[in-house]
Amino acid sequence: MRDAPTGFIERLWDFAIDTPPSLPRRPTIADVAREAGVSRTTVSHALNDKGYVDPHTRERVKQVARQLGYRPNVRAQRLRTGEARTIALVSSMPFEIAGGASRLGFLMEVAAVAAAAALTRGLALVLVPPLTTGRLPLEQLDIDGAIVIEPTRDDPNLAHLQSRGLPVVCVGRFPGDDTVPYVDLHSETTTTLLLNHLRDEGAEHIALVVGVQQRNSYLDALGSYRAFCARHGIEPIVAQADEAGGEDAGHDACARLLQQHPRLDALCVPVDAFAVGAVRAVGERGLRIPDDIKIVTRYDGVRARSCKPPLTAVDLHLDDISSLAVDLLFSHLGGKLEPFAHEPPAPRLVIRESSVKGAS
């Protein structure tokens, strides 16, 4: 018998003397095997749906495990397989954009569905909050893979994950690199949908407000906007705002636009935080929404619905996007390199009072 690792016996002893005498003994796999009349290997295969086990035996083993209150020892499984069975959900977007003061929004909507989808596959999901410090929180996490929400071109979290050789899936394409699996956010389609709606409602002088960060959704929005302007003979007017400024950054960018371009009659502001700031800037100039100027945004979340007036937005089908991202990562965790990307359902316009008077 090999010697135990240094300190191992001491740690076991410390645990034993610290454990209350009244603590009930936890049922083991040996208890399940004895009660079910099978080997421990059969119990392991039956509970983990591995190997060949007669269906009746498999069900009997599971029933005995439930009756005894047996729960697999996750730590022991991890030591045996080397898997953490944990994935991370990461966003480099600051809370001013991803969540806002309420800490609700895009990030948490994705997280809620992704966590449930991960759990059905036996995976735990760790939410990595956006941080403004230089230290990467991922350094402290023992994970098997990660989902990164809308990474920037030079995203440090994505670079760190790749340097560790971990499977990574992005929500939204990684700009400048076609080798990272992703779930498409249809950013070009979404922008065109919003712009066509504004034009259909009579807007002739439409400006675009996007973030300065190099995210694929911003780059796609710019490309779609310039193509739209070229098709319809509209002068392109673009303003950029820093995500770190949140609603105030959107307010300041739109206030400058309204000062420099008094003929503007519509604002396409894909970032919902910027759009809320734009509403404030419009009100300060004494303009009416949507009579004098129409405003639309991309994400149909809490901000869009609670804004006064409510913002016309787009249903991105985040439930589907979140589930697809977990599916894609799960496939790559299992060593499957296909599919490389997933296409969620097409975005759907949700029309509200910010662009159509009397809309509900």
Q: Is pLDDT of 155 > 70?
A: yes
Q: What confidence score (pLDDT) does residue 163 get?
A: 83
Q: What confidence score (pLDDT) does residue 20 get?
A: 45
Q: What confidence score (pLDDT) does residue 159 get?
A: 87
List pLDDT tens digits, range 224-261: 999 999 999 999 999 999 998 999 999 999 999 999 99
Provide the CB-side half-sphere exposure for 36 (13 A, CA). 29
What are the residues whose beta carbons fall under 8 Å from the beta carbon of 68, sequence distance 6 or more? Answer: 27, 31, 32, 35
Tokens 């989902």 locate to 147
Percent of the chain with pLDDT over 70: 83
Q: Considering just the CA atoms, what is the radius of gyration of the chain in Å?
A: 26
What are the residues whose beta carbons fall under 8 Å from the beta carbon of 188, sequence distance 6 or more? Answer: 220, 221, 223, 224
Q: What confidence score (pLDDT) does residue 73 get?
A: 55
Sorting pLDDT into bands at 50, 70 and 90, what band is 84?
A: low
Q: Is pLDDT of 135 > 70?
A: no
Q: Is pLDDT of 9 > 50?
A: no
Q: Is pLDDT of 301 > 70?
A: yes
Mean pLDDT of 275-290: 97
What are the Cα distances from residue 166, in Å, to 236, 307, 328? 41, 40, 14
- Coil, strand, or helix at residue 245? helix
User: 40-44, 57-61, 95-99: which has the highest mean pLDDT?
Assistant: 57-61
- Cβ atoms of 149 and 110 within 8 Å: the answer is yes
Q: What confidence score (pLDDT) does residue 13 get?
A: 33
Lowest mean pLDDT among 22-26, 183-187, 262-266, 323-327: 22-26
Q: Is pLDDT of 100 > 80?
A: no
Query: Looking at the DSSP assignment, which residues form a beta bridge with residue 208?
Result: 238, 268
Ordered by where they begin, the domains of the chain are 8-72 (1.10.260.40), 88-180+318-342 (3.40.50.2300), 187-316 (3.40.50.2300)
The C-alpha atoms of residue 226 and residue 223 are separated, in whole angstroms, by: 5
User: 68-82, 147-161, 254-268, 333-347: which has the highest mean pLDDT?
Assistant: 254-268
Tokens 């076991």 locate to 12
Beta strands in the chain (DSSP E): 86-91, 124-128, 145-149, 168-171, 182-183, 206-211, 237-241, 266-268, 294-299, 312-315, 341-342, 348-350
- Coil, strand, or helix at residue 33? helix
Q: What confidence score (pLDDT) does residue 6 get?
A: 37
Q: Is pLDDT of 338 > 70?
A: yes
- Cβ atoms of 147 and 171 within 8 Å: the answer is yes
More confident residue, 8 or 276: 276
Identify residue 80 by its one-letter amino acid code: R
The C-alpha atoms of residue 272 and residue 303 are separated, in whole angstroms, by: 6
Query: Please, what is the average pLDDT of the chain?
Result: 84
